[in-house]
Structure 1
Amino acid sequence: MSRPNDDLKPVPRHIAMIMDGNGRWAKERGLPRTEGHRMGAETVRRVVECCSEIGVEFLTLYAFSSENWKRPKREVEALMKLLEIFLRGELELMMKQNVRLQAIGRLHDLPQSCQDELHRCIETTSQNTGLTLILALSYGGREEIVDGVKSLLRSVESGHLDKAMIDAEVFSKHLYTRYYPDPDLLIRTSGEMRLSNFLLWQVSYTEFYITEKLWPDFSKEDLKTAIRAFHQRHRRFGGV
């Protein structure tokens, strides 16, 4: 007899998500954008719980882009406060669910209080062996590639790397994501058909799934639907 979620196996090892639609969700309901972000944080909890339950190894969430700093100051401040609240509130649950927290991006650009809370959660969950939850914060794909080039140049200039040895694999080891596999599946909510500067190097052979659902409305069943669609794809990685 089949068990629940058997049709999801094999589960994608790494899922990346562009969490779009918080502001639109709030506008449709006559609510402030901050309320959309607050409800979006509830969706994060659902998605993390579902990924833990079905055995996903890595989940990368595009939480705050490098371009998001251009938003109105009050909205940015509210988002940073929400991040702190989320980290404090979810730490106990992450420990119960055996979730290991990580983060990528120009983290030094975050307010110090956010950096402190983030590092505390990363340290506290560092020995957990279940889902690795990666928050992309103050993150941009182009910025990551630029930072990777600078890191590569430092290695060459210091004599630790022969420039003749540089290839795609070596370059990948100088990116923020060097400790993680490339995503198998990228999910974007709200129906937009663009990457928005997210994981530009890493998604070269990632399968995309776009849903019209706005992020606050995205459910566990929506995630499972995306995984089932992923199983219908034939991944050739450039072969026949």
Structure 2
Amino acid sequence: MKSVDPSHVACILDGNGRWAEARGLMRRDGHSHGADPARRIIETADDMGLEWLSMYVFSTENWARPAVEITVIMQAIERFIDVNLENWHRRGIRIRYLGQPHDLVPLSLRSAMARSAALTASNTGMTVTVALNHGGHSDIAHAVRSIVAAGVPAGQITERTLAAHLPYPDMPPVDLLIRTSGEMRLSGFLLWQMAYAELVFLPDLWPDMTSEKFRDAIETYRHRSRRFGKVAAR
């Protein structure tokens, strides 16, 4: 049947480095230009009444990038939090972070993350989950370790059991994934929650992402037929 509006939209913010290179800049210079589109998309999603928005900003594999670029990314994320936190709080947005703890994440960024999560924890509007040092395989491994630690007998482990032991058990399945830069893969993002997501791959690099393109992706989703393995009604 035709889809209604999505409840949970996930975005992979891809193409900052290539955007900079195309303009004769250093790759690392592109990351600061990704802040405005991220702010616009959060506000647009909130204005549209979305309940959940997840944004992939740094994967577990991204540690293989040059150290200078990683430093710039971390600094850009910290500035992004500091500049936008009060506005998010006024809007009633809840901010959460998904990813494995890592000592290489600067202490100042970890502090900004903790401060923003604490300030907005009781907000009842849209939940924005920022995936930083995240990998879907790591999340599933985390859930398995948690199940083992809880002593759940093997015969009692179901899909519901595993979902309940993920880092955020209350996170619903992803309805729509939007990835910029023309790449057509998940890159390990929310693998459990992405099982039946509709996928929209945009040719635009992330710094060129606009509210209109986000709304267009939502409109594309509305015209998809979501069957979840069932035969389409005739």
TM over 0.5: yes
* Structure 2 residue 156 is the aligned partner of structure 1 residue 150: no
Code of the residue aligned with 1:19 in structure 2: it is L
* Residue type at the aligned position of 1:192: E
Q: Deviations 1:16-53 (Å, cap 9, x if unpaired)?
A: 01111101100000112232111111110000010010
Within the alignment, does 1:57 sit opposite 2:51 as a pair? Answer: yes
What are the Cα deviations for residues 84-128 of structure 1, in whole angstroms up to 9, with x where unaligned?
Answer: 111111111111221110011103442222111101000011121
Distance 2:20 2:102 in 1: 30
Contact 2:28 2:68 in 1 (8 A): no
TM-score by length of 1: 0.91
Instruction: Tell me which residue corresponds to 1:20.
Output: 14
Measured on the aligned residues, the alpha-carbon RMSD in Å equals 1.3
Give the alignment of 1:160-171 within 5 angstroms: 161-171=152-162
| More displaced stretch, 76-85 vs 107-116 | 107-116
Corresponding residue to 2:180 among 169, 189, 194: 189
Aligned residues: 228
- Tell me the distance in 1 between the aligned counterparts of 2:212 and 2:163: 33
What secondary structure does 2:155 align onto?
helix
CA distance in 2, matches of 1:11, 1:170: 28
Query: Aligned partners of 1:42 and 1:33: how far apart in 2?
Result: 17
**Which residue matches 1:233?**
224
Q: Equivalents in 2 of 1:195, 1:54: separation in Å?
A: 25
Q: Distance in 2 between matches of 1:227 and 1:125?
A: 26
Matched, 1:34 2:28: yes
Provide the C-alpha distance between the structure 2 equivalents of 1:66 and 1:86, rounded to a whole number of angstroms.
20
| Cα distance in 2 between the residues matched to 1:233 and 1:20 | 24
For residue 3 of structure 1, what is the aligned residue in structure 2? none
**After superposition, what is the alpha-carbon deviation per residue over 1:138-194, rounded to whole angstroms, capped at 9, x for unaligned?**
0011111112111111111xxxx3332211111011112312101100001011111
Q: 1:10 Cα shift?
A: 4.1
Task: Give the Cα–Cα distance (whole angstroms) in 1 for the partners of residues 20 and 41 of structure 2.
Answer: 20
**Tell me, what secondary structure is at the counterpart of 1:62?**
strand
Query: Which of the numbers 150, 166, 177 marks the counterpart of 1:175?
Result: 166
Correspondence for 1:5? none
